[in-house]
Structure 1
Amino acid sequence: MKTSVCIIGGGPSGLMLSQLLHLKGIDTIVLERQSREYVLGRIRAGVLEHGFAKLMREAQCGERMDREGEIHDGFIIAHDGRQSRVDLHKYSGGSSVVVYGQTELTRDLYEARDRMNGVVIHNVEDVQLHELTGAKPHVTYRQGDEIVRIDCDFIIGADGFHGVSRKSIPKTVLKEYEKVYPFGWLGVLSRTPPVSPELIYAKHERGFALCSLRSQVLSRYYIQVPLSETVEDWSDEAFWEELKRRLPEAVATRLVTGPSIEKSIAPLRSFVAEPMRYGHLFLAGDAAHIVPPTGARGLNSAASDIYYLYHAMTAHYLQGDSSGLDNYSAKALARVWKAQRFSWWMTMLLHTFPDSPGYDQKLQQTDLDYLFSSEKALGSLAENYVGLPF
């Protein structure tokens, strides 16, 4: 088999790049280790930057997002028994975010690839990357007893943190930065109306909580828990009771509870790998960087990688200009680190840290007080939340 660009990973990043390049006449093949049903069964965040929403429309995949997505012009930070609203529209210069589940977004991308007869191969095993700095880059994978080879010009590693792509870069070249937080998020998805039309980030002495939504009949809630705890430690009833304790009384009293559709614990970590290019291989999304979910930057950071790769590949194939490919790693990492800083700041601001000294707690409270006393501070928060320019 032969293609221009072989994309490892059939999640939203890989599918988005494949779709965008297809529209420019550039051939791609997408390889995915899991089945389509498995990919579509993963529950992920759904707060999209305005730039991400624009990219979906450019990929001709935004019709359902625009019809069913929730436009949010602000969110609420609950603290000290108060609810303080961050007016994104006001402080970002007129921008907003779209709340649209990642599962639905991925479904839209799959359907678009189907309409255009895009090649997405599922259930591949033993994927290996070859001659990344040589003259004949190629990828091999196994299906059953058959070894299949794909010759290509470039390989995109969009196969997540545990994928093979980043691991194919020599350790002498790759430098990794990581911060692991001493807690995780216990998340519950329920078929209940959301408690608020906008997201509520709650800072509480018992731990952080978040009230989110997927639609007007589907809600997503989170509470901070120690890493030592498991899903089995939490019944639905225990989760709802703890969530109510961490919310302002006015919010807790109107919370509608119900059976959980999905329940999971996600540990929080920050991670960046440098460089994001090695020869013919380009890393994108979780393969290169991970952020805590506090600032809703994960999927959006991946989207900026795809934006840069899409324009760089287009310039290379259609104009013979490879400067975008040459500058990809530096350009992508500059934005990645800004997203890292914002997610770290949001996490430090709103969570309860075990064994935190009184000095740190006072600084945390001072930072929160300052935020709502300064329009410039609110402007910085809003600018980052709706998304920095690509």
Structure 2
Amino acid sequence: MTPMRTEVAIIGAGPSGLLLSHLLAHDGVESVVLETRSREYVESRIRAGILESSTVELFDAVGLGERLHREGSEHRGIYLQWPHERHHLDFLDLAGRSVWLYGQSEVQKDLGRAREAAGQEIHYEVSDTEVHDPGSDRPYVTYRDAEGNDSRVDADVIVGCDGSFGPSRAAVPDSARRTWERSYPHSWLGILADVAPSTDELIYAWHPDGFALHSMRTAHVSRFYLQVAPGTDLADWSDDRIWEALATRLGHGQDGWQLDPGPITDRSVLPMRSFVMEPMRYGRLFLAGDAAHIVPPTGAKGLNLAMADVALLAPALAALLRKKDPALADSYSDRALRRVWRCTHFSWWMTTMLHAGPDPFDTQLQLSQLRWVAGSRAGATGLAENYAGLPIG
């Protein structure tokens, strides 16, 4: 086995891994990307759909925004709702920033095509990936390639963009890290449906039966979520039951508004938790995205946090490897974690405000909070600033 040699070995070819390789290439830094799944799989995963203004600005700056602006949809804000009340929060008016609706699968395709055109070396369908000697100046990664051959990549730096269950996080010794975690007492049942959206903006709805979210993917495909109990069995939720629950929680018939049902093409149950690991670096191993932190999806932060991580990390690695200047690399974890904790708090705040529970005291607190956010410009501005996205850096 003859080892490959590169400057940066990136584990994970999801959006953060491919964006990092793209940004590094702009600075003349070579990388190799390793991915457990096939390219077809990672490009078809149904994930996040909201891009913050700062994420869109980043994509535009590095030549990745053309299809986003052509096929994506800019949204001025969201609707915040509870029974007999629906209020529009205009992010542009409140915070001067909008968000874009553009699915993670489309981001993935754009990045994949850009990296393919640039000749990026990406190895899909690898297995048994392992990080070695991350605390030394000579880290390396071993893996088995798609043909079953044992392989190795020697690198100056390794970056883990491989999510919660990849080998990168596990390569950091327990003695060198701290973790914080919270599991929430509810999950989301998510569906995709071949039906035009029944709303022009996303609807976030508190209801005594549970939270509901009306989102969308295209002009002809809608995305919906329902609060359900952890461990929910999809077999217990027929199409009719799903549409009935959505109609009830989203206010079908309220002020003449109608929810249009359609054929359900995909369904899944998503557990909800928060997780943060500090630091996001161990020696020559750096972590980004879900490898270092997880947020519940209520605040639309997961993908955007991963993009912000690599936007900070790429220039830090370029300075380290090209200029032999370690300052940005040494401060990467602290700088990234400031944004991580802000977004973790916002995601927790949205989650606890919008998800119904059994305690009637908590219910009254939630309704009071919703009325304040919808009725106070200061409250609405706080939500808008966090949802539309804080500056990167």
Please state whether the residue corresponding to 1:5 is helix, strand or coil. Answer: strand
Which residue number in structure 1 is paired with residue 313 of structure 2? 309
The answer as to whether partners of 2:137 and 2:284 remain within 8 angstroms in 1 is no
Q: Post-superposition shift, 1:78? A: 1.2
Which residue number in structure 1 is paired with residue 338 of structure 2? 334
Which residue number in structure 1 is paired with residue 60 of structure 2? 57
Distance 1:59 1:184 in 2: 36
Superposition pairs for residues 101-116 of structure 1, below 5 Å?
Answer: 101-116=103-118
Which residue number in structure 2 is paired with residue 167 of structure 1? 170
Distance 2:237 2:214 in 1: 18
Structure 2 residue 210 is matched with structure 1 residue 207: yes
Structure 2 residue 353 is matched with structure 1 residue 352: no
Q: Post-superposition shift, 1:82? A: 1.3
Please state whether the residue corresponding to 1:172 is helix, strand or coil. Answer: helix
Distance 2:252 2:265 in 1: 25
Q: Tell me which moved more, 311-320 or 287-296.
A: 311-320
TM-score by length of 2: 0.96
The answer as to whether partners of 2:252 and 2:259 remain within 8 angstroms in 1 is no
The answer as to whether partners of 2:24 and 2:315 remain within 8 angstroms in 1 is no
Which residue number in structure 1 is paired with residue 278 of structure 2? 274
Amino acid across the alignment from 2:385: E
CA RMSD of aligned residues (A): 1.3
- Size of the aligned set, in residue pairs, is 387
Amino acid across the alignment from 1:17: L
Amino acid across the alignment from 1:231: L
2:142 paired residue among 120, 126, 140: 140
The answer as to whether partners of 1:177 and 1:272 remain within 8 angstroms in 2 is yes
Structure 2 residue 197 is matched with structure 1 residue 197: no
Q: Post-superposition shift, 1:261? A: 1.2
Distance 1:46 1:368 in 2: 24
2:101 paired residue among 99, 102, 108: 99
Q: Post-superposition shift, 1:320? A: 3.3
Distance 2:104 2:373 in 1: 30
Q: Post-superposition shift, 1:168? A: 0.5
Which residue number in structure 1 is paired with residue 51 of structure 2? 48
2:258 paired residue among 254, 271, 275: 254
Distance 2:261 2:363 in 1: 32
Distance 1:23 1:330 in 2: 24
Write out per-residue CA displacement over residues 90-123 of structure 1, whole angstroms, 9 at most, x where no aligned residue.
111x210010011011001000011001111001
Please state whether the residue corresponding to 2:200 is helix, strand or coil. Answer: coil
5+ residue gaps, structure 2, are none
Could you list the structure 1 runs, at least 4 aligned residues long, displaced by more than 4 angstroms after superposition: none
Q: Post-superposition shift, 1:253? A: 5.2
5+ residue gaps, structure 1, are none
Distance 2:308 2:355 in 1: 27
Determine what percentage of the aligned residue pairs are the same residue: 45
Amino acid across the alignment from 2:112: Y
Distance 1:253 1:369 in 2: 21
